[in-house]
Structure 1
Amino acid sequence: MTIEAVVFDLDGVIIDTEEVWEEVRRGYVAEHGREFLPDSQDRMMGMSTGEWSAHLADEVGVPRTAAEVASDVLGRMAERYRKDLPLIAGSVETVRALGARYRLALASSSARVLIDQVLATSGLTGEFEVTLSTEEVPRGKPAPDVYLTAVARLGLTPGVCAAVEDSSNGLRSAAAAGLTVIAVPHGVYPPADDALAGAALVVKAVTEVTPEAVSNLHR
């Protein structure tokens, strides 16, 4: 099928924030006398706000409610974004180039407040017809909910949409939703082999996701 729309992830694709998220959350947890579990970082990549805040409160043991944890951490993240937005080199240009040829949507695990801040700061707000946070759907990644909802809001079917993802949970989410998956593996937090196996195209940098590359995708 011919691809009609491209659905972008945000963290790790447009902005390089996984290390910022880890630094902020580890610091926050440490302030409360707790430590990440061995698999906390991997598990939280792709989780919705409600899911990762519950993990920190209920499993890591931060003595705050999940809602309080979310509010505390999101406030710190928004402040970091206002001071210094860690855009991935070439990501803004890539989005605009694809937007000239394809319809665009955004399906992110970030909270709505952070999505809106990033798009406003980067000048990309007008590029996306649909922007969606996993906090606005029943389940976060790796469940397919956010991709299925984004595609539905475009008025399309998954079969004519491509997804651009970096993390294991994001790749699994897009594949489970039935989109053609383009993987941009993160250098510090590479996806698991099984998640990467579901990608139709694997690139080394988001700048390789050109209109020509998308048009050459075959299902």
Structure 2
Amino acid sequence: MIEAVVFDLDGVVIDSEPVWEEVRRGVVAEFGGTWMPDTQKRLMGMSTPEWADYLTGELGVWLSPDETAATVIERMAERYRDHLPLLPHAAATMRAIADQWPIGVASSSPAVLIDTVLAALDVDVRVAISTETMKRGKPAPDVYLAVVERLGVTPERCVAVEDSSNGLRSAAAAGLIVVAVPQEAYPPDDDALAGASLVLTGLAELTPEAVARLA
């Protein structure tokens, strides 16, 4: 029996990865850093402290990690206030799932951005946790384990909906049943995708019936 469903946000509910890339790439260029070809892929799933340290330590941004994080997050919030890039069927899918099971959110976004998205969705999300509150971001299992604990369910009876390599690895490492909804622009690695019990082309395919069959 499925007891709960936990969603990632970036790349699953909102088409935010291009926005994150544009904003962070701009901050790196503005403050003396060098963006590398694999930077965006490496950043996906990192917690706020982790990616702020990476931008300053590895890419050469001359701001402090705290200043880097604050600058990026404020620019992301401005972009979200102008336009929230919800993915097709995201709100309807989450509402349909929430009618059947408790749902949670395990996201690498800062809490302020999670709150902005959830307010726009108007979905009954029982628990939402950001990796910024964790010592380790994805691919570590910490955030999923925290959400599952707060929901009061067991990982092996909980479904995770993810898109990125690090997100898929995080959910699998936590012992959840993994559903992958890959983004064409940022495809997950084959080994990460192999850990998914179900691979979908979009959230419209994540029906309550499809979730129930995962049991």
Aligned to 2:54: 55
Q: Distance in 2 between matches of 1:140 and 1:147?
A: 10
Q: Per the alignment, in what secondary structure is the counterpart of residue 182 of structure 1?
A: strand
Q: Distance in 2 between matches of 1:83 and 1:122?
A: 16
Aligned to 1:188: 185
Aligned to 1:134: 131
Deviation at 1:55, TM superposition (A): 0.3
Q: Runs in 1 of length 4+ with deviation above 3 angstroms?
A: none
Deviation at 1:156, TM superposition (A): 1.1
Q: Distance in 2 between matches of 1:156 and 1:170?
A: 20
Q: Per the alignment, in what secondary structure is the counterpart of residue 115 of structure 1?
A: helix
Deviation at 1:137, TM superposition (A): 1.7
Q: In the alignment, does 2:202 pair up with 1:198? A: no
Aligned to 1:69: 68
Q: In the alignment, does 2:128 pair up with 1:143? A: no
2:161 to 149, 161, 164: 164
Aligned to 1:22: 21
- Report how many residues are paired: 215
Q: Distance in 2 between matches of 1:78 and 1:212?
A: 35
Which letter does structure 2 place at the counterpart of 1:7? Answer: V
Deviation at 1:120, TM superposition (A): 1.2
Q: Per the alignment, in what secondary structure is the counterpart of residue 77 of structure 2?
A: helix
Q: Distance in 2 between matches of 1:191 and 1:36?
A: 20
Q: Per the alignment, in what secondary structure is the counterpart of residue 60 of structure 1?
A: coil
Deviation at 1:206, TM superposition (A): 1.0
Deviation at 1:37, TM superposition (A): 2.2
Deviation at 1:115, TM superposition (A): 0.4
Identical positions, percent: 60
Q: In the alignment, does 2:186 pair up with 1:179? A: no
Q: Distance in 2 between matches of 1:22 and 1:137?
A: 22
Aligned to 1:87: 86
Q: Distance in 2 between matches of 1:99 and 1:189?
A: 27
Deviation at 1:155, TM superposition (A): 0.9
Deviation at 1:122, TM superposition (A): 2.7
Which letter does structure 2 place at the counterpart of 1:193? Answer: D
| Alignment deviations for residues 137-159 of structure 1 (CA, whole Å, 9 cap, x no partner) | 22100000000000000111101
Are 2:56 and 2:63, in contact at CA under 8 Å, matched by a contact in 1?
Answer: yes
How well do the aligned residues superpose, as a CA RMSD in angstroms?
A: 0.8
Q: Distance in 2 between matches of 1:4 and 1:95?
A: 15
Gaps of 5+ in 1: none
| Alignment deviations for residues 149-207 of structure 1 (CA, whole Å, 9 cap, x no partner) | 00000111101100000000000000000000000001100100000000000000011
Which letter does structure 2 place at the counterpart of 1:146? Answer: V
Q: Distance in 1 between matches of 2:129 and 2:173?
A: 17
Q: Distance in 1 between matches of 2:132 and 2:15?
A: 20
Q: Distance in 2 between matches of 1:34 and 1:156?
A: 43
Q: Distance in 2 between matches of 1:43 and 1:206?
A: 24
| Alignment deviations for residues 97-147 of structure 1 (CA, whole Å, 9 cap, x no partner) | 0000011000000000110111112323xx111000001122100000000
Q: Per the alignment, in what secondary structure is the counterpart of residue 36 of structure 2?
A: coil
